[in-house]
Amino acid sequence: NKDFAGKVAFVTGAASGIGEAVARQLAERGAKVVVADLKMDAAEKVVAAIKASGGEAAAVSVDVGQADQVDSAVQFAVDTFGRLDVAVNNAGIGGKAAALGDYSLDDWHKVIDVNLHSVFYSMKAEIAAMLKTGGGSIVNMASILGTNGFASAPAYVAAKHGVVGMTKAAAIDYAQKNIRVTAVGPGFIETPLLGANMSEEAMSGLKSLHPIGRLGKPDEVAAMTLFLLSDAASNITGSYHLVDGGYAAQ
């Protein structure tokens, strides 16, 4: 199904994990994809893999916590492929694991910059580009922690709740401009973000939080993301969609 043919996509954090799966699936369905990431070597590898399977992609370096870099990266997408139709604001970090009282101001600001301010900077640039060609759709990668709390993650939980709120606010402002904005809330997903050296005990503890009995996979989150980006979701905006193996049902 090449339903994204002719469309240009911008995906942040696309060099790894969920973002990589989103970039690959978008390319498979015909989009021209800009793989934006802090890690250029890894981003170039994702681009090479997409091209090797017949897709179109280009890599761009960005620190999503820096507004000027985000503007340049979105401009790169428009300069390279001529327009912007879909965007996935996915780059994020886990941040330091500590209770609120043990969170330093530096640790707090880092997580809020990369996980929350980034989404404001990104949507601002993406919406400006999309308005020039009649609209588009945006998915913000939130988390189950966009509505639930979690131990030792005050900045991450606050940032993701903020992303869910910002999604609703932007969706209302641009609903009549043909720009849809939604959020995805993954449960715990098997990606490098979770930490490669997690103990077996900690890993089985995480799995048991999900009634499905396992962690999610990047491709499962990408499937929801592509549905929301696609024209099949034309009446869906401002909403938050879990891909959480039943986590929130408990």
Catalytic residues, by residue number, are 156
Query: How near is the Cβ of 62 to ligand NAD at its closest, in Å?
Result: 5
By CB under 6 A, name the one of 41, 68, 101, 192 that touches ligand NAD. 192
Of the pair 49, 131, the CB lying nearest ligand NAD is at 49
- Exposure string (b/e) for 13-24, b if CB count within 10 Å is 16 or more? bbbbbbbbbbbb
Angstrom distance (rounded) from CA 55 to CA 29: 9
Report how far apart, in Å, the C-alpha atoms of 131 and of each of 80, 84, 91, 134 are: 18, 9, 23, 5
Pick from 3, 28, 30, 39 the residue near ligand NAD by CB under 6 A: 39
Interface stretch with ligand NAD, choices 78-86, 88-96, 174-182, 195-203 (CB under 6 A)? 88-96
> What H or E segment, with its residue span, contains residue 179?
strand 179-186
CB atoms within 10 A of CB 231: 10
Interacting residue with ligand NAD among 23, 87, 114, 181 (CB under 6 A): 114
Note whether 56 binds ligand NAD by CB under 6 A.
Answer: no
Considering beta carbons, is residue 42 or 128 the nearer one to ligand NAD? Answer: 42
Q: Does 138 bind ligand NAD (CB under 6 A)?
A: no
Find the helix or strand (DSSP H, E) in which 57 lies. Answer: strand 56-61
- Binding to ligand NAD (CB under 6 A): which residues in 2-21? 12-13, 15-19
Summary count for the chain: helices (H), strands (E): 8, 7
Chain residues that interact with ligand NAD, rule: CB under 6 A: 12-13, 15-19, 37-39, 42, 62-65, 90-93, 114, 141, 143, 186, 188-189, 191-194
